[in-house]
Amino acid sequence: MASLDQLARKQHGLVTVGQMHALQITRTAIEHQMSRGQLVRARRGVYRLCGVPLSWHGSVLAVVLAAGGRTVLSHASAVRLWELDDGPRMPDCIEVTSLVRNRQPGVVVHRGTLTAPESTRHMGIPVTTVERTILDMGSRVGPIEIGTMIDVALRRRLTTIRRLRATYAAGSTGVGRPGIASLREALADRDLAYDPGANGWELRMDSMWVELGLPAAQRQYRIRCAGRTYRPDRAIVELKVAVDWNGYEYHGSRSRFDYDSDRRARMSAAGWYPLDFTSRSTPELICAAVLSVCAERRALASS
């Protein structure tokens, strides 16, 4: 039983019938342990050791183990496992991608093949890679939501723009590949030097831009000033108004304070009007400030 416990610890408290047979545990012994409450059936052919609390991670791994073959967690369930769901709320059903026919209650099975670079393990669970997960989700959400997932993944250093572009390049070779259009549009705003921002607040403010009725602006627009390159979070290019969302955890150091001060000075010298807001800036203040500066810049341009 020591070997069984050791194996179960690596699998969120789960073991399969095949694994127990490999440890010389017979069907009769398995039934005996079930009758004594030492094993609890999780899925067909998959059991949970008594005393191990039932968790979401254990539930999804049980599905993958029960499916067998080349089966991995995918789509919305992979989004949850990778913790990319700062964006839209994902359904509670478990989704997997598999080569084998598989019917399990509460499980959506996507039939398909995955290349070796498209699957991995995370927290001991076979799952599509972050890049493949984002591509798969592009078939059901738009470029804004895909962009949010990309930003979360970049911030947590789970992927890079280069790897996402490689995924897009590989996926775009297929005719009518689901999700490719949303990924293409999301990547169009994100070059290799793209900075996703420091925290969720900055992302929320970015998505709130349209809700506030503010003028059309480009994200991470490249501005050259005195031989340096700056990329404000939002840039109203025709009026040369640059807006940054300054989260304290990213901008709260002395070196960052000095850098921000020099950046504002250089951008002002180049004819730009820099505006900085913090997590304590209210939507009303942001809206009033941006619209006021835009009105002043338009008036100057027309005079």
Residue 114 φ then ψ, to 5°: -125, 135
Q: What is the 3-state secondary structure (H, E, C) of the chain?
A: CHHHHHHHHCCCCEEEHHHHHHCCCCHHHHHHHHHCCCEEEEECCEEEECCCCCCHHHHHHHHHHHHCCCEEECHHHHHHHHCCCCCCCCCCCEEEEECCCCCCCCEEEEECCCCHHHEEEECCEEEECHHHHHHHHCCCCCHHHHHHHHHHHHHCCCCCHHHHHHHHHHHCCCCCCCCHHHHHHHHHCCCCCCCCCCCHHHHHHHHHHHHCCCCCCEECCCEEECCEEECCCEEEHHHCEEEEEECHHHHCCHHHHHHHHHHHHHHHHCCCEEEEEECCCCHHHHHHHHHHHHHHHHHHHHC
- Clarify whether residues 97 and 160 are in a common domain: yes
Per-residue pLDDT reduced to its tens digit, 149-207? 898 898 888 999 999 999 998 876 655 576 788 999 999 888 888 877 656 666 677 67
Domain assignment present for 117: yes
* Same domain? 235 vs 144: no
273, 184: one domain = no
Structure confidence at residue 88 (pLDDT): 42
Give yes or no: residues 157 and 239 share one domain: no
Both 112 and 182 in one domain: the answer is: yes
pLDDT computed for residue 236 by the predictor = 94
Question: What pTM, to 2 d.p., does this model score?
Answer: 0.65
Q: Tell whether 169 is covered by a domain.
A: yes
Q: In the prediction, which pLDDT does 232 show?
A: 87
What's the CA gap between 289 and 212, in Å, rounded?
12
The whole-angstrom separation of Cα 146 and Cα 167 is 14
What is the domain-level CATH number for residue 235? 3.40.960.10
Q: List the chain pLDDT tens, one digit each, 303 residues.
A: 668 888 888 899 999 999 999 988 899 998 998 888 889 999 999 999 988 888 899 999 999 999 987 899 999 999 999 988 744 444 568 999 998 877 888 899 998 878 888 999 999 999 999 999 999 999 888 888 898 889 889 888 899 999 999 999 887 665 557 678 899 999 988 888 887 765 666 667 767 787 888 998 887 788 888 777 788 888 999 999 999 877 554 444 555 667 778 889 999 999 999 999 887 888 899 999 999 999 999 998 887
195 located within any domain: no
Q: Is 41 exposed, middle or buried (0-12, 13-18, 19+ CB in 10 A)?
A: exposed
What total of structural domains would you count in the chain?
Answer: 3
Looking at the structure, do residues 145 and 212 belong to the same domain, yes or no? no
Q: Is 61 domain-assigned? A: no
Q: Do 98 and 168 reside in the same domain of the chain?
A: yes
Residue 243 lies in a domain: yes
The encoded tokens of residue 117 equal 């670079």
138 and 159 share one domain: yes
Q: Tell me which of 188, 216, 232 is where a domain ends.
A: 188
246 and 271 assigned to the same domain: yes
Do 80 and 179 reside in the same domain of the chain?
A: yes
Q: Are residues 266 and 289 in the same domain?
A: yes
What's the confidence (pLDDT) of residue 16? Answer: 92
245: containing domain: 200-302
Helices 143-155 and 130-137: angle between axes, nearest 10 degrees: 160
Query: Would you say residue 262 lies in a domain?
Result: yes
The answer to the question of residue 91 being in a domain is yes
Claim to verify: residue 75 and residue 137 sit in the same structural domain: yes
Q: Is residue 184 part of a domain?
A: yes
